[in-house]
Amino acid sequence: MVDLLALILAQQPPEQTQGETVGFTWQWLGEGLLQCTPKTTYRKTIVLSAGIHGNETAPIELLAQIINDLFVERVALKVRVLFVFGNPEAIRKGVRYLENDVNRMFCGAYQHLRQDAETERAAQLEQRTAQFFEQSGAEAQRYHYDLHTAIRASLLPVFALFPYQTQPYDDFLIQSLNAADLDALVYHNTVGKTFTHFTAERCQAASSTLELGKAKPFGQNDLAEFASTDQVLRAVLSEQALPCRQKPSIRQFKVVDSVLKQSDDFQLQLSADAPNFSTFQKGEVIATQQAGNYVVDNQQVWILFPNPNVKIGLRAGLVLKEIG
């Protein structure tokens, strides 16, 4: 048994770094990194990550349970999988990140920041993830589910974001997200520096970021809220049929712009507790700052991840339009 979360919280390595169960071999690749390979032939190779932001605990607990159930044979592993708990020190401290947002450091962006534990971690995650996919063979289909929770509440509580890409999005990935009873899918319009942008662009994986409710401290999550996602991830790992969707049709949005914070006088025209997917109408002001106000110039838009507390030069929100 490898309890990846307990090892992180205790800041300890496991007593042994590799081994096997009845159904799979496993290898501890470093803090928060566990690779499991089925003994039978596999068709898919999958990265399941959480804790890129250390205070987003529900997905960490969700993956920790799945790992434990693999080792006690409650889940039969039929795919090759790399479990990633992204920012161990931030997880221990219960904070989003220590100095800079790790989920803006990928695709080599860490090289442009002052070197510290988090830039080193981003480099390590890139290296280990790329190696994992390369070692899985060219025939295996590549997937990445990066699990997060949002800073604030959401009018559409569970949703997924796709990194920008020019080729069609993977059918199985979309089917699995639909089966997970997500409320919405959001398509990015530009290349980014997130973990899923890295795996999509550099590793040719079908990748998606899942947002599962609101960030809470360890022990305060009701994992039953995420039962549909948990059920789908277990089905994906065991190559079982995906469950049937229980909710109304999933809604789809595309990112049309980013609201950038350009000076210290930046202010969002939203209350501090305004939820994700809050709406603005034509002519309404989303943000004010000396460099110029952001005014809605078209039909209704939605705002995602509004956060006026980001550093200057970073996005303080995504502007969306509904499609489909």
pLDDT one-digit tens code per residue, 78-108: 999 999 999 999 999 999 999 999 999 999 9
pLDDT one-digit tens code per residue, 308-319: 988 888 889 999
Which has more pLDDT, 219 or 25? 25
What local confidence, expressed as pLDDT, does residue 20 receive? 96
Domains of the chain (ranges; CATH) run: 4-238 (3.40.630.10), 256-323 (2.40.50.630)
Contacts for 22-26: CB closer than 8 Å, 24+ residues apart: 22/73, 23/73, 23/76, 23/77, 24/70, 24/77, 26/2
Contacts for 155 with CB less than 8 Å, ≥ 6 apart: 275, 276, 277, 278
Q: Give me the catalytic one of 73, 89, 211, 322.
A: 211
C-alpha 211 chain-centroid distance: 7
Closest CA to 205 of 121, 147, 146, 123: 146
Residue 221 has pLDDT above 90, yes or no: no
Token pair of 157, please?
A: 């509580």
pLDDT one-digit tens code per residue, 234-274: 999 999 999 999 999 999 999 999 999 999 999 999 988 89
Closest CA to 150 of 59, 215, 242, 233: 215
Closest CA to 316 of 252, 262, 255: 262
Residue 223 has pLDDT above 90, yes or no: no
DSSP-assigned letter for residue 40: S
- Specify whether the CB–CB gap between 48 and 60 falls below 8 A: no
CA dist 308 and 314 (Å) reads 10
Residue 324 has pLDDT above 80, yes or no: no
pLDDT one-digit tens code per residue, 144-201: 999 999 878 899 999 999 999 999 999 999 999 999 999 999 999 999 999 999 999 9
What local confidence, expressed as pLDDT, does residue 187 receive? 97
Least confident window among 104-108, 193-197, 221-225, 286-290: 221-225
What local confidence, expressed as pLDDT, does residue 183 receive? 96
CA dist 3 and 167 (Å) reads 38
- Specify whether the CB–CB gap between 262 and 312 falls below 8 A: yes
Token pair of 139, please?
A: 């025939």
- Stretch 120-136: mean pLDDT, rounded? 97
Residue 13 has pLDDT above 90, yes or no: yes
Closest CA to 162 of 128, 118, 206, 100: 206
pLDDT one-digit tens code per residue, 45-84: 999 999 999 999 999 999 999 999 999 999 999 999 999 9
- Stretch 224-233: mean pLDDT, rounded? 93
211 catalytically annotated: yes
Q: Which residue ranges make up the annotated binding site for Zn(2+)?
A: 53, 56, 148
Token pair of 291, please?
A: 């460099």
Residue 299 has pLDDT above 90, yes or no: no
Contacts for 202-205: CB closer than 8 Å, 24+ residues apart: 202/107, 202/126, 202/130, 203/129, 203/130, 203/133, 203/142, 203/144, 204/133, 204/142, 205/47, 205/133, 205/142, 205/143, 205/144
What local confidence, expressed as pLDDT, does residue 125 receive? 98
Residue 277 has pLDDT above 80, yes or no: yes
Q: Which residue ranges make up the annotated binding site?
A: 53, 56, 148
pLDDT tier at 224, thresholds 50, 70, 90: confident
What local confidence, expressed as pLDDT, does residue 152 receive? 81
Residue 191: φ, ψ to 5°: -65, 140
Show the 3-state SS of 195-213. HHHHHHHHHCCEEEEEEEE
